[in-house]
């Protein structure tokens, strides 16, 4: 494995010296996310394998090119999981891409985001230096937490070589129920339930139906089912539904056209925009399929409406990326981003424009 790391180092040093961009890439399952990929490919898949897994410590450490499916299989064999339910979006998904893109699935609202589970990481920066951050134990919180900064960095700070992730036990019991209700009623219910000790691990409103997953001890799930009411889905049907939501194979996501991801405070009321919506995470994540592809003016309108409600909007798939994929940062935050990238990648070679 050291020979592979040295190859990475030589490729990075050559690119830095020439000022030519590098496209950090694992399985390519999320090439469509963010700005258009550019530069010579640095393929991470050869640097794969689980380095350490301690089920009793709830920690797994793996190299960047390790397939996500392999990690999930190892964890499932010990009745454990990556609680943030990262989507694969293809068979080639790697753990390095999971951290770099920081996309979470249906359980994110109850369990936490990718960054909340990153305990440590090893990074190769633009100087070809191997830098270690964090650790392999949950109590290691001293110092500047660079390892969590890597979550969602889209590979712009350097090559993530290794990552240590906190894992959790699989729930003892799960049940999914459905209730017919309008959008505003669903948002009201979700906010009411958020203030109660209910074992809600995922939620989805779409097309007049609110679907809720309950996870935890048998007694807690049974009591919640009695309290909330609704139609209880068969276990197999429920598993298919949540997997389709996680991997965006649900019918809402099908077809051409742009897909916007709206991140909002859960208590925000319905956002009146032209198009179809699907709501997750107790109201905190709302997907929008606008009527027709929004041009630059349409993108500004979407972002202004979402910002007025206290959130931000991302052009997740499709559409005109010339209008910008990610919501513009506040000047002070943008300045911090520039300084971080300058510190880790002074030549500006890593995944340029992926976060534009």
44 and 151 share a domain?
yes
46 and 115 share a domain?
yes
Position 143 in a domain: yes
Position 328 in a domain: no
The mean pLDDT of 54-71, rounded to a whole number, is 97
Domain boundaries, position 139: 2-169
- Domain boundary pick from 169, 190, 215: 169
Spatial distance between the Cα atoms of 10 and 16, rounded to a whole number of angstroms: 10
11 and 155 share a domain?
yes
Q: 274-279 long-range CB contacts below 8 Å, 24 or more apart?
A: 276/252, 277/183, 277/206, 278/204, 278/205, 278/206, 278/250, 278/252, 279/183, 279/186, 279/187, 279/203, 279/204, 279/205, 279/206
- pLDDT per position as a tens digit, 176-211: 999 999 999 999 999 999 999 999 999 999 999 999
Domain count, the chain: 3
Residue 21, token pair as written in the block: 């961009």
Confidence of residue 83 (pLDDT cuts 50, 70, 90): very high
- pLDDT per position as a tens digit, 271-328: 888 899 999 999 999 999 998 776 778 888 999 999 999 999 999 998 888 878 999 8
CATH of residue 52's domain is 3.30.465.10
Q: Which residues contact 330 (CB under 8 A, 6 or more apart)?
A: none
Q: Is the pLDDT of residue 144 over 70?
A: no
Confidence of residue 147 (pLDDT cuts 50, 70, 90): confident
The mean pLDDT of 323-350, rounded to a whole number, is 91
Give pLDDT, residue 57: 94
Query: Buried b / exposed e across 184-209, counting CB within 10 Å, b at 16+?
Result: eebbebbeebbeeebbbbbbbbbeee
Spatial distance between the Cα atoms of 187 and 175, rounded to a whole number of angstroms: 21
Model's pTM, two decimal places?
0.92
Spatial distance between the Cα atoms of 84 and 62, rounded to a whole number of angstroms: 17
- Domain boundary pick from 203, 221, 247: 247
The mean pLDDT of 265-271, rounded to a whole number, is 89
45 and 134 share a domain?
yes
Residue 137, token pair as written in the block: 């134990």
Q: Is the pLDDT of residue 161 over 70?
A: yes
Position 344 in a domain: no
36 and 158 share a domain?
yes
> Would you list the DSSP string of 72-115?
HHHHHHTTEE-TT----SSTT-BHHHHHHH----TTHHHH--GG
Confidence of residue 87 (pLDDT cuts 50, 70, 90): very high
Phi-psi region of 145 (alpha: psi -120 to 50; beta: other; left: phi over 0): beta
Position 346 in a domain: no
Please state, as a whole number, how many other Cβ atoms lie within 10 Å of the Cβ of residue 255.
9
- Domain boundary pick from 247, 267, 291: 247
13 and 160 share a domain?
yes
139 and 273 share a domain?
no
In the chain, pLDDT over 70 holds for what percent of residues?
97
Measured over the CA atoms of residue 110, residue 111, residue 114 and residue 118, the dihedral's sign is positive
141 and 25 share a domain?
yes
């Amino acid at each position: 494995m050291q020979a592979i790391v040295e190859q990475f180092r030589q490729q990075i040093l050559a690119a830095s010296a020439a000022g030519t961009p590098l496209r950090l890439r694992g399985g390519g399952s999320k090439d469509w996310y963010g700005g258009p990929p550019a530069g010579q490919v640095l393929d991470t898949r050869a640097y794969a394998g689980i380095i350490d897994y301690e089920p009793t410590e709830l920690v797994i450490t793996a190299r960047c090119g390790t397939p996500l499916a392999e990690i999930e299989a190892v964890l499932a064999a010990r009745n454990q999981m990556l609680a943030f339910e990262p989507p694969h979006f293809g068979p080639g998904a790697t753990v390095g891409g999971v951290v770099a893109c920081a996309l979470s699935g249906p359980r994110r609202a109850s369990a936490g985001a990718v960054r909340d589970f990153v305990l440590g990481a090893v990074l190769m920066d633009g100087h070809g230096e191997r830098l270690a951050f964090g650790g392999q134990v949950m109590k290691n919180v001293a110092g500047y937490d660079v390892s969590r900064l890597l979550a969602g960095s889209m590979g712009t700070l350097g090559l993530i070589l290794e990552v240590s992730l906190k894992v959790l036990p699989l729930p003892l019991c799960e049940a999914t129920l459905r209730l017919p209700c309008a959008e505003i009623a669903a948002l009201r219910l979700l906010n009411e339930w958020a203030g109660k000790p209910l074992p809600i691990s995922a939620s989805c409103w779409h097309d007049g139906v609110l679907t809720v997953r309950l996870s935890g001890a048998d007694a807690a799930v049974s009591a919640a089912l009695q309290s909330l009411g609704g139609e209880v889905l068969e276990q197999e049907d429920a598993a298919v539904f949540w997997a389709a939501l996680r991997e965006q194979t649900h019918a809402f996501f099908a077809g051409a056209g742009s897909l916007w991801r709206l991140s909002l405070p859960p208590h925000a009321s319905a956002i009146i925009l032209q198009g179809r919506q699907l709501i997750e995470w107790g109201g905190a994540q709302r997907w929008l399929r606008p009527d027709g592809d929004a041009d630059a003016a349409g993108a500004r309108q979407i972002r202004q409406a979402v910002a007025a409600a206290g959130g931000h909007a991302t052009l997740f798939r499709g559409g005109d990326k010339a209008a910008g994929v990610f919501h513009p940062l506040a000047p002070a935050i943008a300045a911090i981003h520039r300084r971080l990238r300058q510190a880790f990648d002074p030549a500006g070679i890593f995944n340029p424009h992926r976060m534009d």
